[in-house]
Amino acid sequence: MKDLTATDTVTVKSDVAAWSVPALLAAAALTTGWLMVGGTHIDLRVPLVYSGDTLLVLSWIKRAMENPWIFHSTLMGAPFGASLYDYPIPDSGSILALKLLGILSGSAGVAFNVYYLAGFPLNAISAYFVSRKFSLSRSFSFACGFIYAVLPFHFLRIPHLFYTWYFVAPIFVWYAYKIYSNDISFSPRELRASAILGHAFVLLALSCFGVYYSAFGVLIFFIAGVARYTYTGSIKSTCACLVAIAIMLFGVLANTAPNIIYRATHEVDQEALDRGIAGSEEHGLKIAQLLLPRPQHRLPAFAKLNGTY
């Protein structure tokens, strides 16, 4: 057998590092997240929380497990069953993942907890590879991925389960950079059809993980397009931005199409989702929230400052 040359040895080490570092990151993020939400005290069959929208999400998981999708169930709203067409839920990616987890485990509680815990490695790996795309070192990318995975947001949003899969945000940032740097095109003259379809498929898939993240993607694509136009002075240079935004909007529209069709053929249920006036104060994003420490901060002085506000 021929001995490995120095170049071959370096290549092998590089290949090992290319997969071992993200694998180690995924394990570290999952272990840390698991420990921080209870560790050995966690019973996967029991949902981590029952507050907020948890019971609603658990009902969606059960509906997805027992029916083709979540829109109708005969086991709720007796004697006629319960429909969800008045309540748009543009999160088909998360619902599909929860449906599969629920079917495989046979438990909505297990599906809920596993989905949440899976968010730690998923978010970490996404941030890691995007950091690497920006030519950051493996160690720095490891740190970025780990910090991103264990953000306070991840723990504050357990009741809003779908938000905890925020792996899409770094990918949107990467696509925005590609738009600005003119490194992506949807023109058949510049790319093969397979490459164009690949980009379109990725953006469509990302649009299935919540309207909030899709809105974030559209916003930074728009900013990238404006920046590109400012740099080049050519309207033509914004084509990639406009196409990417159109794909995202189409994805959100496709997710809500059953709700739109239902509302077009039925009367609107005015009580399906009634937000009170206080909701603007309770749920609205304010500048103070961007400047103050987070609620229930680990440092008592910071927690007190937020609590005082």
pLDDT in tens, 139-170: 999 999 999 999 989 998 899 999 999 999 99
Task: Assess whether 161 and 189 both reside in one domain.
Answer: no
Domain presence at residue 47: yes
The residue among 110, 144, 165 that closes a domain is: 165
Mean pLDDT of 258-282: 82
| Chain segment 218-254, per-residue pLDDT in tens | 999 999 999 999 999 988 889 999 999 999 999 999 9
Sign of CA dihedral 51, 55, 61, 64: negative
Query: What is the pLDDT of the chain when averaged over all its residues?
Result: 90
Task: Assess whether 195 and 73 both reside in one domain.
Answer: no
Q: How confident is the model at residue 2 (pLDDT cuts 50, 70, 90)?
A: low
Task: Assess whether 23 and 161 both reside in one domain.
Answer: yes
Task: Specify the pLDDT at position 7.
Answer: 57
| 168-173: long-range pairs with CB below 8 Å, 24+ | 168/126, 168/206, 168/209, 168/213, 168/217, 169/126, 169/213, 169/216, 170/126, 170/127, 170/130, 170/131, 171/126, 171/130, 171/202, 171/206, 172/206, 172/213, 172/216, 172/217, 172/220, 172/221, 173/130, 173/220
* Residue 287 clears pLDDT 80, i.e. is over it: yes
Q: How confident is the model at residue 52 (pLDDT cuts 50, 70, 90)?
A: confident
Mean pLDDT of 175-190: 87
* Residue 10 clears pLDDT 70, i.e. is over it: no
Task: Assess whether 95 and 228 both reside in one domain.
Answer: no
Distance separating alpha carbons of residues 57 and 64, to the nearest angstrom: 11
Task: Specify the pLDDT at position 253.
Answer: 97
Task: Assess whether 123 and 221 both reside in one domain.
Answer: no
Task: Assess whether 108 and 177 both reside in one domain.
Answer: no
Q: How many domains are there within the chain?
A: 2
Mean pLDDT of 169-188: 92
Domain that holds residue 197: 167-265
**In the chain, what is the straight-line distance between the N-terminal and C-terminal CA atoms, in Å?**
71
Asked if residue 133 lies in contact with residue 174, where contact means CB atoms within 8 angstroms, the answer is yes
pTM of the model: 0.89
The residue among 165, 194, 228 that closes a domain is: 165
Task: Assess whether 36 and 140 both reside in one domain.
Answer: yes
* Residue 187 clears pLDDT 80, i.e. is over it: no
Domain presence at residue 135: yes
Angle at 207 between CA 274 and CA 282, to 5 degrees: 30
Task: Specify the pLDDT at position 298.
Answer: 82
- Output the furthest CA–CA distance in the chain (Å, rounded): 77
Domain presence at residue 8: no
Task: Assess whether 46 and 25 both reside in one domain.
Answer: yes
Task: Assess whether 106 and 184 both reside in one domain.
Answer: no
Q: How confident is the model at residue 41 (pLDDT cuts 50, 70, 90)?
A: very high
Task: Assess whether 171 and 57 both reside in one domain.
Answer: no
Asked if residue 151 lies in contact with residue 165, where contact means CB atoms within 8 angstroms, the answer is no
Q: How confident is the model at residue 285 (pLDDT cuts 50, 70, 90)?
A: confident
Task: Assess whether 122 and 182 both reside in one domain.
Answer: no
Task: Assess whether 27 and 63 both reside in one domain.
Answer: yes
